[in-house]
Amino acid sequence: MQHEAISIFDMFKIGVGPSSSHTLGPWRAAQLFTAQLDEKGWLQDVVSLEVLLYGSLAKTGVGHGTDIAVMLGLSGEDPVTFAVDHIQPRIQDIRIMKKLLLGGRHEIDFNPTDDIEFLFSESLPFHPNALTFLATLTDGRHIAETYYSIGGGFVKQEMETVAQKQMVNLPFPINTSDDLLHWCRKTGMAIHEVVMENESAWRSEMETRKGILDIWQVMKDCTFRGCHTEGYLPGGLQVKRRASSLNKKLLCGKHYHDYNSWIYEIKQGGTNFQYILDWVSCFALAVNEENASFGRVVTAPTNGAAGVIPAVLQYYICFAGGDSEDKIIQFLLTASEVGSIFKKGATISAAMGGCQAEIGVSSAMAAAALTESLGGTQRQALMAAEIAMEHHLGMTCDPIGGLVQIPCIERNTMGAIKAITASQLALRSSPDYAKVSLDGVIKTMWDTALDMNSKYKETSDGGLAVNVPVGLSEC
C-alpha cells in the first residue's frame, strides 16, 4: 500500500496567523505561482495579475487575511521570516500606490479591490479552499494556475501528481495507528523513537533535533508574548485580550525578566488544581490571541488550533517534570505522528471537516504526546488520542465575522484541558478493555465530516456566526 511521507516539519510549520488554511496556505500558493513564473522566464513579462478566491477562502477570506497573505506571497515575502510588525504598513502601501513588486523584483499595476475577487457563491470540487492566479504577459498570453489550501499550511496544485512530488522512502511507513503500533511492537521502540528514525530519511538526527527546538522556540516566544500583550484584537469585534490580565493575577506581582524566570515563578505557585487549570487556559489563550493578531505562530497542526499543543507542553514543563530538551523533542515527535495519521485518514482542514479537524486533532496529538511523555505505553498513548478526538466529534467551525477569534480562541483552552484529561484517563486504564480504536475514531471523524453541512465548515454561514451579532464584545 502506498504511503504518504509526512515529516514533523510538515505538521509543525512556522508561519503567520490567523489561519493555516486561509492565510499560510494562500501565502505559500502565491509563492509557488511566482516561483513558477520565474522558472519559466515569465516573471518580468507579467503586465497584469488577477487572483480568484473560491468557496471558504472567499466567504471568510477577509477575516482570515487571505487577501493580505496573497499579496505578501506574490511580493516574494516568506511567512517564516517576514517581520509581522511590517505586515500592515506593506499592505497599506500596496493599496495606496496600487502597485505590487512581483517576486520582489518586477513592479506591476495591482489594485487589491479590483484584482482580488471573492467568489462567494462558487466552489471547486476538489476542496473548498481554492484560489486561481491569472497572469497576462506582454505578448498577450494568459497564464492560469489553481491551488488548493488543504489545511495546516499544506498546498496542492491542480493536476499535481504523486510523481511530481518528492518521494521519500521511510524505514517505517505509516498510514494508520495500527501501522504505527506494528512498528513499535516489531522494534520495541517508543513512538517518538520510530518517528525519529523516519525523520532520518530527510536529514541527520542532529538537524532534526535543532529544527524541533527551533519550532519550540517559536512556540515559547509566542506564548510569552501573548501573556504580556494587552489591548483588543483586530477585525472589528472588539474582543479584549485576556491572557495578559490572567497572567498578572496568577503571578500576584512577582518579578521576572524573561521566559526562563517567568517559568520559574509559575512553578513556585504550587500544584493546586485551580492554579494549574488557570495556567493551561492562560497559555492557550496567549498563543491564539497572538494568532488572531497576525502574530508568528506554529501550525499545530493548524493556526486556528495552534494553542493546544504549546499549552499542554507548557503544562508538562511547569507541572509534570518535562523541563528538558530531550523531553520536549520526544513530546513534539509523538504529537506530529498522531497528527499525520489524522491527515492521512481524514483531514486537518476545518473547511472540510469543521472544528473537529482542528481543535479535535490538536487535542488528540497533545494527549498522545503527554501520555507517552509521562511514561505511558504506546497503546496508552494512542488510546489517549482516541479519547481526545472521541469527545470532539461533530464540532463545527462557525467563526463570528469570519475571524479566528470567537469561538476559536476559547476552544483552544478546551482542547488543551481535554487532552490532559484524556491522557490521565489513558494512563489509569488498560487499552485491552478499550472499545474504540484510534483508527476507528479517525474513520468516524471523516464520515462525520462528509455528512456535515457546509455552513458549519469555516464558511460563517451557520452556528454562532449567524446567531451572535457582529460587534458583540467578549469580556
pLDDT in tens, 169-225: 999 999 999 999 999 999 999 999 999 999 999 999 999 999 999 999 999 999 999
**In the block, residue with C-alpha cell 467563526:** 399
- The predicted structure's pLDDT at residue 6: 96
Helix 308-319, helix 259-267: angle, nearest 10: 60
Q: Find out whether the peptide bond into 125 is cis, omega within 30 degrees of 0.
A: no
pLDDT band, very low/low/confident/very high, at 471 (cuts 50, 70, 90): low
pLDDT in tens, 71-97: 999 999 999 999 999 999 999 999 999
pLDDT in tens, 56-78: 999 999 999 999 999 999 999 99
Task: Give phi and psi for 145, each to the nearest 5.
Answer: -140, 135
pLDDT band, very low/low/confident/very high, at 166 (cuts 50, 70, 90): low
Q: Where are the beta strands (DSSP E) in 84-231?
A: 99-102, 106-109, 116-119, 130-137, 142-151, 154-157
pLDDT in tens, 374-428: 999 999 999 999 999 999 999 999 999 999 999 999 999 999 999 999 999 999 9
- The predicted structure's pLDDT at residue 3: 73
Q: Averaged over 118-139, what is the pLDDT?
A: 96
d(C-alpha 196, C-alpha 207), whole Å = 11
Helix 325-345, helix 191-199: angle, nearest 10: 80
Strands in 46-54's sheet, in edge-to-edge order, are 116-119, 46-54, 130-137, 142-151, 154-157
CB 312 within 8 A of CB 281: no
d(C-alpha 133, C-alpha 102), whole Å = 13
- The predicted structure's pLDDT at residue 436: 97
HSE (CB half, 13 Å, CA atoms) of 283? Answer: 28
d(C-alpha 8, C-alpha 199), whole Å = 8
Output the average pLDDT for the chain: 95
d(C-alpha 171, C-alpha 257), whole Å = 45
Residue 351 has pLDDT above 70, yes or no: yes
- The predicted structure's pLDDT at residue 72: 98
Give buried/exposed letters for 114-124 (b at 16+ CB in 10 A, else e). ebbbbbeeebb
Q: Point out which residues pair with 131 in neighbouring strands.
A: 53, 147
pTM of the full structure? 0.94
Residue 475 has pLDDT above 80, yes or no: no
H/E element holding 16?
A: strand 14-16
CB 343 within 8 A of CB 13: no
Contacts for 157 with CB less than 8 Å, ≥ 6 apart: 32, 145, 146, 147, 148
pLDDT in tens, 14-23: 999 999 999 9
Question: What percentage of the chain reaches a pLDDT higher than 90?
Answer: 95
Lowest mean pLDDT, pick from 1-10, 157-166, 213-222? 157-166
Task: Give phi and psi for 298, each to the nearest 5.
Answer: -115, 130
pLDDT in tens, 280-315: 999 999 999 999 999 999 999 999 999 999 999 999
- The predicted structure's pLDDT at residue 383: 98
d(C-alpha 90, C-alpha 79), whole Å = 14
Residue 161 has pLDDT above 80, yes or no: no
**Residue 273 burial (CB count, 10 A):** 7
Residue 164 has pLDDT above 50, yes or no: no
- The predicted structure's pLDDT at residue 470: 72
- The predicted structure's pLDDT at residue 472: 45
Residue 167 has pLDDT above 80, yes or no: no
Residue 33 has pLDDT above 70, yes or no: yes
Residue 245 has pLDDT above 90, yes or no: yes
d(C-alpha 98, C-alpha 248), whole Å = 44
Contacts for 390 with CB less than 8 Å, ≥ 6 apart: 436, 441
Query: What does the DSSP assignment read for 430-448?
Result: -GGG-SS-HHHHHHHHHHH
Return the domain boundaries, the chain: 8-164, 177-467
d(C-alpha 25, C-alpha 366), whole Å = 23
Write the single-letter amino acid at 204.
S
pLDDT band, very low/low/confident/very high, at 158 (cuts 50, 70, 90): very high
**In the block, residue with C-alpha cell 520526544:** 330
- All three cell numbers of 381, joined, read 498513548
Write the single-letter amino acid at 33.
F
**In the block, residue with C-alpha cell 533535533:** 209
CB 417 within 8 A of CB 359: no
With H, G, I as helix, E, B as strand and everything else as coil, classify residue 279: helix
- The predicted structure's pLDDT at residue 308: 98
With H, G, I as helix, E, B as strand and everything else as coil, classify residue 101: strand
Task: Please give the class, per CATH, of domain 8-164.
Answer: alpha beta
pLDDT band, very low/low/confident/very high, at 443 (cuts 50, 70, 90): very high
- The predicted structure's pLDDT at residue 465: 95
Per-residue DSSP letter, 240: B
